[in-house]
Structure 1
Amino acid sequence: MTPVLVFDGDCAFCSSSARWVQRWAPSRRAEVVAWQHTDLGAIGLTAQECSTALRWVDGERHSAGPVAVADYLRTARAPWPALGAVLGTRLATAAAWPVYRWVAEHRHQLPGGTPQCALPTGPRPDEAAGGAGR
């Protein structure tokens, strides 16, 4: 299976961010895809999971939020794998989750965002899992 970074294609901010990543930190082996154009069942994700956080799937390994970013960066061309290794450390991940959540909750107010970018309300599956994804 080709590893995938799965983002919210209905969100203009997320789509702009995905295009930026594809241009400036291209992966050597992974794809960047909108969850709305992906067979989620085939990669073991649900629409609920994908609507609340960026997702990384590499075989049996699933991650979310900044951990997903770190996992993707490890597959990118230099110098990005080094940043992915740092972001993937326990300390950096713990510091990155609050920032990630703030950006996710305000993405409709950020440059390129629209009212349609606002996250759905309700409990987040990541919080029940301790914020580390699966």
Structure 2
Amino acid sequence: MASDNSPPVIVFDGVCVLCSRWVDFILRHDHAGLFRLAAMQGAQGRSLLIAHGLSPDDPSSFLLVQDGHGFSNTDAIARVLKQLGGRWRYASAAVRAVPPGLRDPAYRWMARHRYRLFGRRSQCRLPEPDQAWRFIE
């Protein structure tokens, strides 16, 4: 597939407390502004999930779309961490050191139980005005 010039997009669950913390982490550590963020509750996030074979109503993973390819589960997490650079490259290597057959089922279990384990917001996370450019929709 040809390279896509659009920035990488992370599709996340906008009402999940854990997912919102992940978004906060990205905003805090993505100093270059590499990633854009789309809530799965929005039209753009929903269409990206469908296009990459994930349920837009209750995905078992978040989605990273980069260069026209979709990445999910711990592979997506490792890719994001590596691109953040610095010490996060070591965290990426640590994630990848665990075989996918072990790490992905554990991740999917946590994703399925995310509301029970971490909580759910009554509405989607709203960006701060100075961060709004990072969000799609």
Q: Provide the TM-score with structure 1 as the length reference.
A: 0.66
Q: Quick one: percent identity of the two aligned structures? A: 24
The partner residue of 2:105 within 73, 92, 98 is 98
Which blocks of at least 5 consecutive residues in structure 2 are unaligned?
1-5, 123-137
**What is the match of residue 21 of structure 1?**
26
Cα deviation digits, residues 38-82 of structure 1 (max 9, x gap): 524478446725731110110122111111111111210311123
Q: Is the 8 A contact 1:27 1:73 kept in 2?
A: no
Q: CA RMSD in A?
A: 2.9
Q: How many residues align?
A: 113
Return the structure number with greater relative CO, CA threshold 8 A, min gap 6.
2
Tell me how far apart the structure 2 counterparts of residues 94 and 57 of structure 1 sit (CA, whole Å): 22
Structure 1: segments with no counterpart, 5+ residues: 117-134
Is 1:84 equivalent to 2:92 in the alignment? yes
Cα distance between partner residues in 1 of 2:31 and 2:76: 13
Pair 1:114-2:108 in alignment: no
The question of 1:11 aligning with 2:19 is answered no
The structure 2 residue matched to 1:51, chosen from 48, 52, 58, is 58
From 35, 39, 45, give the equivalent of 1:34. Answer: 39
The normalised TM-score by structure 2 is: 0.64
C-alpha distance 45-39 of structure 1, shift in aligned 2 (>3 A)? farther
